Amino acid sequence: VGAYPIFTREEVTKHRTLQDGVWVTFGDSVYDITDFVGLHPGGSKIMLAAGGALEPFWVMYAVHNQQHVLELLGEYKVGELSSEDKKKGSGAISDPYASDPPRHPALKINSLKPFNAEPPSEILSENFLTPNAFFFKRNHLPVPEVDPERYRLEISGEGLPKAVSLTLEDLKTKFPKHTVTATLQCAGNRRSEMNKIKQVKGLDWGIAAISNAQWGGVRLREVLEHAGYRHGGAAQHVQFEGLDKDVSGTPYGASIPLRKALSDDGDMNGEELPRDHGFPLRAVVPGTVGARNVKWLGKIIVSAEESKSHWQQNDYKGFSPSVDWDTVDFKSAPAIQELPIQSAITEPRDGALLERSGEQVTVRGYAWSGGGREVVRVDVSLDGGKTWQVATLRSGEDAPPLGQAWAWKLWELSAPFPPEGEQLDIVCKAVDNSYNMQPDSVAPIWNLRGVLSNAWHRVRVSVKI
Ligand code: HEM
Ligand code: MTE
Ligand code: MO
């Protein structure tokens, strides 16, 4: 290792544009990342750190605390900080996640900061309504601290005579309360199965980035009417902005088509909306991908255009297996809204050891389809898909009106063990009322972002004689 040139922090600050070169520091080292800026998977945000330390930004984006990222950074090293500046350090870094709420220890954490976690799969099939503590949690940023007294919901845009601001008290007293039981599923649920085919980018979700709750609150339509919304203009979309913001002050955002604008706020399974799930207000968009169910809702904007948010424009879209990170054109695909038919086996778990003495094997799971399409059947195979049996569906509620099956169905199959064999290849697949079915394997639906992973779910278990 040859000696590196020595720089002061003062000198580093002079390199903050592509013309002057883009330099950053990490620990005691200096890096010239000019050539990496255009290649950065996180886009132009990287320029926020230009001329200074990476640490204050990387505490927010903990995706960087990985060996492969540090190795990549190492390739751009050009110097070391002067011993004077080494002593000073990069300044105290406050952890933006320090005020995140406490969480249940049984959750399987996929990323701590931001917090992303799924419950043990058995918990899902044990409860038609997933208890809030176990409901999967998917945050892109720190959980904002919202003072309910000072909270305001801002509503503006196309077709509204003027901007309107509502307090929580207004929302609770000026509108009728509605409830809806709706399943929320992340676009990345079951991504880990795609990773087995070929590496995708994103959190390695198992089968439990999906949960079901009864949501209580007000209808978005009624809030828009209260704000004086009139049809006839250019309005096509309803944009949502969260109160969670990144280092550049950009909030989490998403939009839904205007005609879908039918939503709720307020409580979750009869409890106050938990901080992780959007306290004090979230958009609930039944039948629509998790990403559009914006939490910590601060702003509603009716507009002719979709949300400009990164997550609406350059993420949460599906592509052909042939598309890679060099060829992907995010403008060429529509934003995911309704999700496809889905099901998975929650019990037994892959790799479990079953006792034949029980004589019956019991398989449990969930099934759900987007857009309010009702699951009408779940087929289960104990022999890898050669023969099938129909599972019993448990809906937990009265039959929903056509096109409004927002909640999942839990299902169960109890069947005699096949006469021989030390292994069971259990498979499930669901059918919705449009007769949409799941594809039999992952490879043909593989996509670089690892979304929409809904192939037949398979678990292999051993049988003890
Ligand atoms: C993602 C490298 C600076 C924001 C990534 C990833 C890499 C990377 C390799 C992909 C990680 C993965 O998915 O496994 C770097 C390097 C940097 C740098 C080498 C400095 C030399 C920054 C800065 C910010 C930032 C300063 C913010 C101010 C992000 C974001 C993502 C990301 C938001 C996630 C994108 C997504 O989830 O799609 N970065 N980064 N990065 N980076 Fe950076
Ligand atoms: N809303 C805000 N403001 N910030 C977020 O990070 N994550 C979205 C969505 N709404 C998110 C958000 C994504 S991708 C999903 S899957 C769901 O919230 C997860 O909701 P949950 O944490 O209540 O399960
Ligand atoms: Mo998500």
In this structure, what token pair is assigned to residue 271? 């409890």
Q: Whose atoms come closest to the Cα of 32: which ligand?
A: 1
Q: Whose CA is closest to atom 36 on ligand 1?
A: 42
User: How far out from the chain centre does Cα 68 lie?
Assistant: 23
From the list 303, 213, 283, 215, the residue with the least C-alpha distance to 243 is 283
pLDDT reported for residue 270: 85
Domain range annotation of the chain: 6-88, 108-332, 342-464
In this structure, what token pair is assigned to residue 68? 């492969």
DSSP 225: H
pLDDT reported for residue 87: 80
Q: Whose CA is closest to atom 6 on ligand 1?
A: 41
pLDDT reported for residue 395: 81
Q: Indicate the Cα dihedral angle 231, 237, 240, 246, nearest 10°.
A: -140
For 29, 89, 375, the CA distances from 81, given in Å and listed in that order, are: 6, 10, 61
Burial class (CB in 10 A: 0-12, 13-18, 19+), 386: exposed
Instruction: Confirm if 391 and 412 have CB atoms less than 8 A apart.
Output: yes
Average pLDDT estimate for 212-218: 94
Q: Which of 110, 118, 134, 140 to mutate to test the pocket of ligand 2 (most atoms within 8 A of CB)?
A: 140
- Residue that wins the pLDDT comparison between 420 and 236: 236
Q: How far is the CA of 36 from the centre of ligand 1 (A)?
A: 11
Average pLDDT estimate for 359-371: 95
Tell me: pLDDT of 202 over 60. Answer: yes
Phi, psi of 188, rounded to the nearest 5 degrees: -95, 5
For 100, 152, 300, 426, the CA distances from 345, given in Å and listed in that order, are: 32, 42, 38, 8
From the list 459, 460, 448, 458, the residue with the least C-alpha distance to 194 is 448
Helices (H), 25-80: 55-58, 67-74
74 close to ligand 1 (CB < 6 Angstrom): no
Can you tell me which atom of ligand 1 is nearest the CA of 54? 26
Can you tell me which atom of ligand 2 is nearest the CA of 188? 16
Give the whole-angstrom CA distance, residue 71 versus residue 350. Answer: 34
242 strand-pairing partners: 297
Q: Which residues have C-beta atoms less than 6 Å from ligand 2?
A: 135-141, 184, 186, 242, 244, 252, 276-277, 290-291, 293-296
Q: Whose CA is closest to atom 25 on ligand 1?
A: 46
Q: How far is the CA of 434 from the centre of ligand 2 (A)?
A: 28
From the list 7, 5, 86, the residue with the least C-alpha distance to 51 is 7
Q: Which of 293, 309, 451 to mutate to test the pocket of ligand 2 (most atoms within 8 A of CB)?
A: 293
Q: Whose atoms come closest to the Cα of 252: which ligand?
A: 2
- Judged by DSSP in three states, 123 sits in helix
Q: Whose CA is closest to atom 8 on ligand 2?
A: 291
- How do residues 333-364 score in pLDDT, each as one tens digit? 999 999 999 999 999 999 999 988 778 999 99
Give the whole-angstrom CA distance, residue 424 versus residue 55. Answer: 49
Can you tell me which atom of ligand 2 is nearest the CA of 241? 3
Alpha carbons within 13 A on the beta-carbon side of 8: 3
Give the whole-angstrom CA distance, residue 185 versus residue 339. Answer: 8
Q: Which string of DSSP letters, residue by residue, matches 280-339?
A: T-----TTB-GGGS-SSEEEEEEESS----HHHHSSSB---TT--TTT--GGGSPBP-BP
The band of 90, judged by pLDDT with boundaries at 50, 70 and 90, is low
- Judged by DSSP in three states, 376 sits in strand
- Residue that wins the pLDDT comparison between 427 and 396: 427
89-93, 110-114, 214-218: which has the minimum mean pLDDT? Answer: 89-93
Phi, psi of 72, rounded to the nearest 5 degrees: -60, -45
In this structure, what token pair is assigned to residue 314? 């350059």
pLDDT reported for residue 398: 82
| CATH domain 6-88 topology | Flavocytochrome B2; Chain A, domain 1 (3.10.120)
From the list 231, 22, 192, 9, the residue with the least C-alpha distance to 110 is 192
Alpha carbons within 13 A on the beta-carbon side of 452: 24
Tell me: pLDDT of 187 over 70. Answer: yes
Q: How far is the CA of 140 from the centre of ligand 3 (A)?
A: 9
40 close to ligand 1 (CB < 6 Angstrom): yes
Average pLDDT estimate for 3-30: 94
Give the whole-angstrom CA distance, residue 132 versus residue 278. Answer: 12
Strand segments, DSSP code E, in 356-456 are 360-368, 375-381, 389-390, 392-394, 409-416, 423-432
User: For the chain, how big is the Rg over CA atoms in Å?
Assistant: 25
Residue holding tokens 């629509």? 288
Burial class (CB in 10 A: 0-12, 13-18, 19+), 324: exposed
| CATH domain 342-464 topology | Immunoglobulin-like (2.60.40)
| CATH domain 108-332 topology | Sulfite Oxidase; Chain A, domain 2 (3.90.420)
Residue holding tokens 């305001």? 152
- Judged by DSSP in three states, 139 sits in coil
In this structure, what token pair is assigned to residue 460? 């292999």
pLDDT reported for residue 43: 83
Tell me: pLDDT of 285 over 50. Answer: yes
Q: What is the ipTM of this complex?
A: 0.80
Give the whole-angstrom CA distance, residue 451 versus residue 329. Answer: 16
pLDDT reported for residue 2: 65
From the list 37, 43, 81, 77, the residue with the least C-alpha distance to 63 is 43
Q: How far is the CA of 359 from the centre of ligand 1 (A)?
A: 52
pLDDT reported for residue 264: 45
Helices (H), 92-190: 121-126, 168-173
Give the whole-angstrom CA distance, residue 118 versus residue 298. Answer: 26
Q: How far is the CA of 64 from the centre of ligand 1 (A)?
A: 6
pLDDT reported for residue 334: 97
